[in-house]
Amino acid sequence: MAKVTKVTKIILASSLILSLSSMATAAEHHRKDRRDARPQAENYDINGLKVIVGAGVGTGIGASSGNGGVTIKPFGGLNAKLKLGTGIFTTTKNSTLGLQATIGVGANNLTAGFNTPQYSVNLDFMQAFKLGQSGYVKLGYIVGVGAAIRTNDNVNSGNGSFMNSSSAASSAVLAGATGVGSLLSGANLAGIDPVLSANLTSQLDAIQKIQTSLQNISNDAIAGQTQVGDVRSVMSTGLQNITDLYNGIRTNNSNFRDGGNANNDKTRSGAYGQGFAIVGSISSLLNGNTNSNLSTTTLNQTATNLLTAFNQTSGGTSNSLEDGIKALQSALRTVTPTTIEAQNPAYIQASTQLSSSLNALTDPNTGAIAKLQSAIQTNKANVEKYNIEIGKTQKNLSEALNTASWDAVNNLNSMYKVASSLRSTILNGIRTDAAGHTQNDITIDLDKNALLTSSFDSTTAKVTTEDPKTSIDAVANAVAEVKAAMDKVSKDVQNLAVIRAAISAQNSASQASLNAATKDAAAKRNNAVTILPTAKAGIVAFFGKHQSVSVEYQYYFRNTNPNFTSGEVTLNYAYYFGGK
């Protein structure tokens, strides 16, 4: 029993020693493990390329001026957006620098009764500085530029105040805030004011007829310019043979001089004949062209067509420009302003604009129509004068040819002088001396071998009739001026008609029609995509390597929509994937 007890004690003692040894060893390992597991300082530097996702909420900031100065106040609506992009970052000894490009999609005015989608593209630069030893928190700034793309597709919840009540709509229309030009196609004028609608139809019909007449006049003017080009081309190139022949003899060229080449007479007669034919072609261009290589309409006929297209008919039933103008003026006078209209600022402004544009079009002394009429009448008179001068030339050339003196220097000299005078007329206009003679007043004395004499005194002469090109170009320029003036009148007629419709709707309680017109007009305006350049600045804070929060102010340049402010303040959160 004692032996057993001793053995038991030995076993217990050995077990105790082993246990203590094991505990000591375990404790030592535990202390070592704790030393080994002690964390090193965390590195929160941001470096490399990162993918960015984020979101933001904010509100618009508006400014209004008054007697007390400028007041800045928030806009009544919440804005929200999501963004996605990429950025590149680097951390220096002093700060973290970043450049990021993002695209975003959002909605404006979430709490204002209508939601407006907006898309954006931004390029931002950031610099943040460490706060504390670890650098877990960094604080800095963000600046950037970009563009906001607004579709302006408003989704009205029915609870907002913008264009949702008939009284507000009426006020906006009458103040001109919605742009009456865009209202025309959407306004139900027949439902608002049948008489006004019928009158507007008459006005637009008259405008259409005027535009048709203008196009006819423009076509005639273009034809005239083409014909003048043909005449100038014939003068510039066709008469060169006569010039060459004249110069050949004057310089004693053996091919042309008296007693020279056996074909001398044939050469001369051919040149004379061609010169006469050329003058005949010029006359045909002015009066009755038969040459298929040249314009088929004559200048004389074109001048007559221009007068016909302009002048008023006795019954006022043609498509002449003057008939169209008188029909428009009659349609405008049909509806006289009511007392309410005459006191309305929007009506007064639109009526004044229309009166001004009508005056620019129809003033009998300075209006575009008067200038066009003068240009057309002057062109017609000029063409008749050109015909007289060409008639003189044809007579002189015919008499010179009838002498059949192909070898006579006098005859050749006469031919050259006659042709040169006609060329001067076509290219530079008709010159008249103090005695009333023109450069084409030349006499050919057949009894003296076609000796030429001229009663024209060039020393006292001046241009009394402009050349054909200048004359027809003046018509074309006057047509362009009338077109521009007519476009302005057309626009002002429509604007005034729509303002009258809005006033009529407000005062006759035709709110349903007015609301429909306003809605259609707003939809047409708002459906247009608007691209606004932007600039931003703000404060940004980074937390660790992957998160940031920023407060940013963004300004929208070229914003003209009264439903949006030009400034916005947003609170943004972003998460960064990747990088080091």
Mean pLDDT of the chain: 71
Enumerate the H helices of 234-298 as residue ranges: 240-250, 264-286
Could you tell me the CA-to-CA distances from 279 to 160, 244, 245, 393, 444 in Å, in that order? 80, 17, 17, 8, 17
The per-residue pLDDT for 140 is: 95
The per-residue pLDDT for 125 is: 96
Of the candidate ranges 112-126, 197-211, 467-481, the one whose mean pLDDT is the lowest: 197-211
The per-residue pLDDT for 240 is: 60
The per-residue pLDDT for 238 is: 56
CA gap 131, 561 in Å, rounded: 43
Band of residue 290 on the pLDDT scale cut at 50, 70, 90: very low
The per-residue pLDDT for 495 is: 82
Mean pLDDT score, 438-463? 76
The per-residue pLDDT for 509 is: 53
Percent of the chain with pLDDT over 70: 56
Band of residue 504 on the pLDDT scale cut at 50, 70, 90: confident
84 strand-pairing partners = 53, 103
The per-residue pLDDT for 406 is: 47
127 strand-pairing partners = 97, 141
- Of residues 378 and 202, more confidence is placed in 378
Closest CA to 208 of 196, 200, 220: 200
**Residue 110 near residue 79 (C-beta atoms within 8 A):** yes
The pLDDT of residue 518 is above 70: no
Q: What is the CATH number of domain 48-153+528-577?
A: 2.40.160.20
DSSP 237: I
CA gap 129, 127 in Å, rounded: 7
CA gap 63, 398 in Å, rounded: 85
The pLDDT of residue 46 is above 70: yes
- The CA-based diameter of the chain, rounded to the nearest angstrom, is 185
Pick the most confident of 58-62, 87-91, 365-369. 87-91
The pLDDT of residue 393 is above 70: yes
CA gap 550, 573 in Å, rounded: 7
The per-residue pLDDT for 512 is: 56
The per-residue pLDDT for 199 is: 73
CA gap 515, 521 in Å, rounded: 10
Percent of the chain with pLDDT over 90: 14
280 CB-near residues (< 8 Å, 6+ apart): 394
Could you tell me the CA-to-CA distances from 475 to 381, 468, 479 in Å, in that order? 13, 11, 6
The per-residue pLDDT for 534 is: 93
Domain with CATH 2.40.160.20 in the chain: 48-153+528-577
The per-residue pLDDT for 197 is: 72
Pick the most confident of 368-377, 401-410, 501-510, 545-554. 545-554
Pick the most confident of 225-239, 284-298, 411-425. 411-425
Report the C-alpha dihedral over residues 133, 136, 139, 140, rounded to 10 degrees: 100
Residue 34: count of CB within 10 angstroms of its CB: 9
Structure tokens at 201: 């139809």
The distance in angstroms from the start CA to the end CA of the chain is 74
Of the candidate ranges 37-46, 513-522, 559-568, the one whose mean pLDDT is the lowest: 513-522
CA gap 69, 51 in Å, rounded: 45
- Of residues 37 and 190, more confidence is placed in 190
Closest CA to 476 of 216, 295, 225: 225
The per-residue pLDDT for 404 is: 46
Radius of gyration of the chain (CA): 46
Mean pLDDT score, 287-305? 50
Task: State the helix-helix crossing angle for 194-233 and 299-310, rounded to 10 degrees.
Answer: 170
The per-residue pLDDT for 198 is: 75
Beta-strand (E) ranges in 109-252? 114-131, 137-150, 155-156
DSSP 552: E
- Of residues 501 and 164, more confidence is placed in 501
The pLDDT of residue 215 is above 90: no
pTM across the whole model: 0.47
DSSP 464-530: EE--HHHHHHHHHHHHHHHHHHHHHHHHHHHHHHHHHHHHHHHHTT-HHHHHHHHHHHHHHHHTS-E
- Of residues 409 and 429, more confidence is placed in 429
125 strand-pairing partners = 99, 143
What are the φ and ψ backbone dihedral angles of 572, each rounded to 5 degrees?
A: -125, 145
Q: Which run of H or of E encompasses 318?
A: none
Of the candidate ranges 68-72, 219-223, 566-570, the one whose mean pLDDT is the lowest: 68-72
The per-residue pLDDT for 38 is: 47
Residue 532: count of CB within 10 angstroms of its CB: 20
HSE (side-chain half, CA atoms, 13 Å) at 463: 13
Mean pLDDT score, 94-114? 82
The pLDDT of residue 110 is above 70: no
The per-residue pLDDT for 309 is: 65
The per-residue pLDDT for 153 is: 56
Pick the most confident of 21-30, 444-453, 571-580. 571-580
Judged by DSSP in three states, 378 sits in: helix
The per-residue pLDDT for 321 is: 72
B/e letters for 44-58, b = 16+ CB within 10 Å, e = fewer, are bbbeeebebebbbeb
Could you tell me the CA-to-CA distances from 97 to 42, 86, 94, 287, 466 in Å, in that order? 20, 14, 10, 82, 73
The per-residue pLDDT for 105 is: 92
Structure tokens at 324: 């169209």
CA gap 473, 484 in Å, rounded: 17
- Give the long-range contacts of residues 129-136, CB within 8 A, separation 24 or more: 129/94, 129/95, 129/96, 130/95, 134/41, 134/42, 134/44, 135/44, 135/45, 136/42, 136/44, 136/543, 136/544
DSSP 371-392: HHHHHHHHHHHHHHHHHHHHHH
**Residue 197 near residue 541 (C-beta atoms within 8 A):** no
Of the candidate ranges 79-88, 284-293, 334-343, the one whose mean pLDDT is the lowest: 284-293
Task: State the helix-helix crossing angle for 468-507 and 345-362, rounded to 10 degrees.
Answer: 160
**Residue 518 near residue 501 (C-beta atoms within 8 A):** no
Pairing outcome for strands 69-91 and 95-108: antiparallel
Structure tokens at 297: 């309409």
Mean pLDDT score, 501-512? 65
DSSP 438: B
Could you tell me the CA-to-CA distances from 248 to 79, 272, 378 in Å, in that order? 89, 14, 41
Band of residue 267 on the pLDDT scale cut at 50, 70, 90: low
